[in-house]
Amino acid sequence: MKKLKLYFIYLLILLFTTIFFIALINLKKNIDNKSDQLSYVQKNLANKKAQLKNIHNKLLKKNINIENLVFEDGITFRSGIKKNLKLKEYDYDFKEFISDDIIFSKHPDASSSAYIDYYDDNIFLVTATGQITYSNVKNLDENKFILSSIKSNIQKIIRYDEFYYSSQFGIKDILIRNNQIYVSYVKEHYKDCFSTSILKGEVNFSYIFFNEFYSPDKCIEKDNKFYDTHKSDKMTAHQAGGRMIIVNNNLIFSTGEFRYRILAQDKESDFGKIISINLSNKSKKIISMGHRNPQGLYFDNDLNTLFSTEHGPSGGDEINYLDFNQINYIDIPNYGWPMASYGRHYFDLGDDQDPRYKLSPLKKSHSKYGFIEPLKYFDPSVGISQIIGIPNDFYKSDNNNFLVGTMGNAKKLKEGMISIFLFEYDNEKKIISSEFIPIMSRVRDMIFVEDKNFVLMYLETNNSLAILKKK
């Protein structure tokens, strides 16, 4: 009897083991099938994008812009995801409004790209292809609303085709103050030679007439010999910077180096810098250098300090600060790029034989080599984006607070990708604490709407505007 019981147990184990392995095999087949299906969908989407781009190019050659038709009667946003979020002991409502009308993106991982600002009770949204829209902020209380379109002369000023479809080239920020609207963008000076420049116009809901406000004397050519150093190097308009804020009577403006790395250390070049432009006479001063691609700017008035966020290479995204009390315009504060970084070059094999390290060594210590250390760096990179200050009415704290957006790959969500961070920092500009807030979409832009005490974001994975509001 004992042997029979033992035999029965062995039989059960064998049966369960067989079922388990059959289930594993079936699961693998299902995963393989799903993987094949996903691969097919991705290829199909890529083909559709290529077809749309081809059609759009042909229409552009005939001076027909698809977006002009889409935006003619404004663009519609409808209620989407709603959820509750908790920051420490405080509860917040998160709500998205989704649009199907913004069709072009400026990054392969994005569905669309746009930038936002708030002025005189209106939310303004400009797409990365230069379409300008607005709506009264009270309409965000509805489940569905329209952003009305504002015509402009942007398409008469910006004439190269790559600007008007999914590419690296486009609008980089919008800023509205004192009834003046500023738009930064990737400018083509002549065929295949680019910079980050600024247009300025007066706010008018019928038609905005833009003129050039700032443009550097020099541009960077696509076929510059610098890019011959490594086979993966090429001129990259993703590294254009372009963020703008106004401090006193100066427009503070960030510029990237378009992957022409060594320009960030050239005091005679405007690339890879943060620049101050006087609003009255347009005189320009470089206030910091050694930047790769600054993607966010925030000025803390109480501390008289500028905070910036910056894309690193493979690893090494940074948050930096510049104390305006210490600016003397002679010794330009230097943040090290590309001499120092906590990241490594893209496609680096890790053997230190990469020729790029000769001119761009990326030393890990900044201070050891005479450069300013970042307030914080991220490794791996989080795809850092905009930075905004938030008041105590929104998040009660004994410290100062800012939010930082990210746009990294969703596969690394736990490490801070496609989400936002809340940082608390003291009056000595030291970070006291941080909190990770999962948003599940690329946060391209953020503003704090003081009148309504909420954060407004543009999320380019979901084609959406989103509100984060304290309950």
Q: How far apart are CA 434 and CA 233, in angstroms?
A: 35
* pLDDT at residue 36 in the model: 57
Are the C-beta atoms of residues 294 and 283 closer than 8 Å to each other?
no
Confidence at 329, pLDDT banded by 50, 70, 90: confident
* pLDDT at residue 179 in the model: 97
Confidence at 6, pLDDT banded by 50, 70, 90: very low
* pLDDT at residue 12 in the model: 46
Mean pLDDT of 175-194: 98
Residue 99 half-sphere exposure toward CB, CA atoms < 13 A: 26
Mean pLDDT of 214-227: 96
Q: How far apart are CA 289 and CA 369, in angstroms?
A: 15
Please determine, for residue 22, whether its predicted confidence score (pLDDT) is greater than 60. no
Are the C-beta atoms of residues 207 and 214 closer than 8 Å to each other?
no
DSSP letter for 37, please: H
Which has the minimum average pLDDT: 292-301, 322-331, 347-356?
Answer: 347-356
Mean pLDDT of 209-218: 98
Q: How far apart are CA 99 and CA 77, in angstroms?
A: 5
In tens, the pLDDT along 342-385 reads 999 988 877 778 899 999 999 999 999 999 999 999 988 899 99
Q: How far apart are CA 216 and CA 321, in angstroms?
A: 24
Confidence at 5, pLDDT banded by 50, 70, 90: very low
Extract the runs of DSSP E, i.e. beta strands, from 144-240: 144-152, 171-177, 180-190, 193-202, 207-208, 211-214, 220-221
Range with the largest mean pLDDT of 5-9, 58-62, 110-114:
110-114
Q: How many residues does the chain have?
A: 471
* pLDDT at residue 332 in the model: 95
Q: Residue for token digits 């963008």?
A: 185
Q: Could you tell me what percent of the chain has a pLDDT over 70?
A: 86
Residue 74 neighbours by CB distance under 10 Å? 17
- Flag whether the pTM goes above 0.85: yes
Extract the runs of DSSP E, i.e. beta strands, from 383-471: 384-389, 400-406, 419-425, 431-438, 443-449, 454-459, 464-470
* pLDDT at residue 51 in the model: 67
Domain boundaries, the chain: 1-64, 76-470
In tens, the pLDDT along 26-48 reads 555 555 554 555 565 556 666 66
Q: How far apart are CA 264 and CA 255, in angstroms?
A: 9
Q: How far apart are CA 30 and CA 36, in angstroms?
A: 10
Mean pLDDT of 459-471: 94
Q: How far is CA 176 from the centre of its chain?
A: 19
CATH superfamily of 76-470: TolB, C-terminal domain (2.120.10.30)
* pLDDT at residue 416 in the model: 56
* pLDDT at residue 9 in the model: 45
* pLDDT at residue 388 in the model: 98
* pLDDT at residue 418 in the model: 79
Q: How far apart are CA 434 and CA 422, in angstroms?
A: 5
Q: What are the angstrom distances between the C-alpha of 426 and each of 396, 400, 431, 439?
A: 14, 6, 7, 26
Extract the runs of DSSP E, i.e. beta strands, from 5-143: 75-87, 90-98, 114-119, 122-127, 132-136
In tens, the pLDDT along 123-178 reads 999 999 999 999 999 999 999 999 999 999 999 999 999 999 889 999 999 999 99
> Cis omega (within 30 of 0) on the bond before 380?
yes
Extract the runs of DSSP E, i.e. beta strands, from 279-418: 284-289, 294-300, 305-310, 317-323, 376-378, 384-389, 400-406
Please determine, for residue 396, whether its predicted confidence score (pLDDT) is greater than 80. yes
* pLDDT at residue 27 in the model: 54
Which has the minimum average pLDDT: 13-17, 83-87, 101-105, 395-399?
Answer: 13-17
Are the C-beta atoms of residues 374 and 381 closer than 8 Å to each other?
no
- pLDDT higher for 88 or 13? 88
Q: Which residues pair with 98 in a beta bridge?
A: 78, 464
